[in-house]
């Protein structure tokens, strides 16, 4: 029988392991969301206006991807510390839906608008929606611990 | 009046009590704290990676530093405001927490960092443009800044894992019973 007992997970048996994993999760969160936000500022016409949004995407995409890889890996580790708890947690379910939507959105619509000569109004919509998505991701992440 | 008394007085104010006792306000402020870290802390990381020549090398250093500066400052103001509200609401437990103290020390050091490097690095970025290599001093500033902010982030997380030692009276009692 395939049984998984979270009590055997090193994250639950080492004083340092869990908070350290969380630190990686938060730093990588800042890296991925912060780099996307730079493009969003440009799309909204609020910052980095000396560069084109296409150039900013090109300049940040590697770090966005690195951040996403670390934030998802550390997130899976945190999830593994207590899977049943997370699966039954409303904010966690919402967060996973937003994460999926956010990643798909970032690499399709967001990227397409940023890399094209789209009219400013479309950029504002695409950047605004992006900020809203990542903001709701952070909020739902915090609320996992408060329900 | 000791520092502990001051912390206690802060925690006892009406607004700090309201934050602590609200099921919604506390997590909302914490979410804002983390959101600002995500959006603007990420920009701090990115600026330092640019100085190190690891990111955005196609974009001149001064364009990155100057154009992100107002956003990072606004973000820092939001992070600090939320952080002060969160710590105030639980000031009694924060006061003896060693991770909180290290975090405050590191925050102070970022102020020192700014004083030391502002003129020569962050307000002197034009000298690093037009293909010239980023000077060692700027790279040192970026390295130190990365260490400080990652340290602050880590200590912030560790605050939640500190368990205060048992009250002295209890341990004295158990020692006496031996």
pLDDT of residue A3: 80
In chain A, where the domains are located: 15-146
pLDDT of residue A123: 94
R_g of chain B, CA atoms, integer Å: 21
Please tell me which residue, A147 or B151, carries the higher pLDDT value: B151
pLDDT of residue A14: 87
Q: Quick one: pLDDT band at residue B168, thresholds 50, 70, 90?
A: low
Q: Flag whether pLDDT at B173 surpasses 60.
A: no
Contact between chains at B63 and A35 (C-beta distance less than 8 A): no
Cβ atoms B113, B148 nearer than 8 A: yes
Label residue A43 exposed, middle or buried (CB < 10 Å: 0-12, 13-18, 19+).
Answer: buried
CA dihedral B157, B159, B161, B167 (to 10 degrees): 180
Interface test with A, best of B55, B56, B158 (most A CBs within 10 A): B56
Q: Flag whether pLDDT at A25 surpasses 80.
A: yes
Interface test with B, best of A11, A24, A142 (most B CBs within 10 A): A142
pLDDT of residue B12: 94
Q: Quick one: pLDDT band at residue B81, thresholds 50, 70, 90?
A: very high
Residue of B nearest to A71 (CA): B38
Contact between chains at A30 and B150 (C-beta distance less than 8 A): no
Task: Report residue B50 CA to chain centroid gap.
Answer: 21
Sign of CA dihedral B31, B160, A29, A8: negative
Q: Flag whether pLDDT at B174 surpasses 80.
A: no
R_g of chain A, CA atoms, integer Å: 18
Chain A with chain B: Cβ pairs closer than 8 A = 106
Q: What pLDDT, in 10s, does the model give residues A62-81?
A: 999 999 999 999 999 999 99
Q: What pLDDT, in 10s, does the model give residues A27-73?
A: 999 999 999 999 999 999 999 999 999 999 999 999 999 999 999 99
pLDDT of residue A95: 98
Of B116, B88, B107, nearest to B154 by C-alpha is B107
| Farthest-apart Cα atoms in chain A, separation | 60
Q: Is pTM beyond 0.95 here?
A: no
Please tell me which residue, A76 or B171, carries the higher pLDDT value: A76
Q: State both tokens at B166.
A: 């048992």
pLDDT of residue B124: 86
**Interface predicted TM-score (ipTM):** 0.93
pLDDT of residue B178: 41
Please enumerate in sequence order all residues whose Cβ is within 8 A of that of A74, keeping only pairs 6 or more positions apart, or say none.
A21, A22, A24, A25, A28
Q: Quick one: pLDDT band at residue B169, thresholds 50, 70, 90?
A: low
Query: Residue B161: its chain A contacts at CB < 8 A?
Result: 15, 19
Q: State both tokens at A114.
A: 């940023």
Q: Quick one: pLDDT band at residue B177, thresholds 50, 70, 90?
A: very low
Average pLDDT over residues B60-69: 94
Per-residue DSSP letters for A52-112?
Answer: -HHHHHHHHHHHHHHHHHHHHHHHHHHHHTSHHHHHT-HHHHHHHHHHHHHHHHIIIIIHH
Interface test with B, best of A138, A144, A145, A147 (most B CBs within 10 A): A138
Label residue B49 exposed, middle or buried (CB < 10 Å: 0-12, 13-18, 19+).
Answer: buried
Q: Flag whether pLDDT at A16 surpasses 50.
A: yes
Cβ atoms B51, B61 nearer than 8 A: yes
Cβ atoms A34, B46 nearer than 8 A: yes
Q: Flag whether pLDDT at B22 surpasses 80.
A: yes
From B115-119, B125-129, B173-177, the region with the lowest mean pLDDT: B173-177
pLDDT of residue B112: 97
A52–chain B Cβ distance below 8 A for any pair? no
Cβ atoms B94, B60 nearer than 8 A: no
Average pLDDT over residues A121-145: 97
Q: Quick one: pLDDT band at residue B163, thresholds 50, 70, 90?
A: confident
B64-69: long-range contacts at Cβ-Cβ below 8 A with a sequence spacing of 24 or more? B65/B122, B65/B125, B66/B125, B67/A47, B67/A48, B67/A49, B67/A50, B68/A38, B68/A47, B68/A48, B68/B43, B69/B122
């Amino acid at each position: 029988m395939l049984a998984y007992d979270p009590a055997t997970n090193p994250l639950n048996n080492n004083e340092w392991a869990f908070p350290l994993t969380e630190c990686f999760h938060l730093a990588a969160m800042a890296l991925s969301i912060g780099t996307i936000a730079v493009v969003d500022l440009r799309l909204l016409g609020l910052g980095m206006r000396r560069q084109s949004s296409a150039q900013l995407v090109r300049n940040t995409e590697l770090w966005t991807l690195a951040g996403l890889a670390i934030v998802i890996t550390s997130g899976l580790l945190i999830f593994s510390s207590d899977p049943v708890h997370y699966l039954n947690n409303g904010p966690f379910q919402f967060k996973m839906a937003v994460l999926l939507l956010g990643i798909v959105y970032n690499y399709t619509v967001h990227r397409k608008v940023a890399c094209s000569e789209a009219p400013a109004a479309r950029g504002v919509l695409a950047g605004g929606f992006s900020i809203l998505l990542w903001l709701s991701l952070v909020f739902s992440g915090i609320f996992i611990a408060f329900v | 009046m000791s520092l502990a008394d001051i912390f206690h007085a802060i925690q006892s104010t009406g607004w700090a009590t309201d934050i602590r006792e609200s099921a919604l306000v506390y997590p909302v402020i914490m979410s804002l704290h983390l959101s600002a870290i995500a959006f603007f802390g990420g920009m701090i990381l990115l600026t330092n990676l640019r100085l190190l020549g690891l990111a955005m090398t196609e974009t001149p250093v001064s364009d990155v530093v100057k154009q992100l500066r107002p956003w990072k400052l606004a973000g820092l103001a939001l992070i600090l405001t939320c952080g002060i509200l969160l710590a105030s609401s639980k000031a009694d437990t924060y006061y003896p927490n060693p991770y909180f103290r290290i975090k405050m020390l590191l925050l102070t050091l970022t102020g020192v960092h700014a004083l030391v490097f502002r003129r020569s690095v962050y307000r002197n970025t034009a000298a690093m443009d037009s293909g010239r290599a980023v000077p060692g001093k700027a790279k040192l500033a970026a390295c130190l800044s990365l260490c400080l902010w990652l340290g602050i982030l880590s200590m912030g997380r560790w605050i939640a894992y500190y368990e205060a030692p048992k009250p002295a009276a209890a341990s004295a009692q158990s020692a006496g019973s031996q």
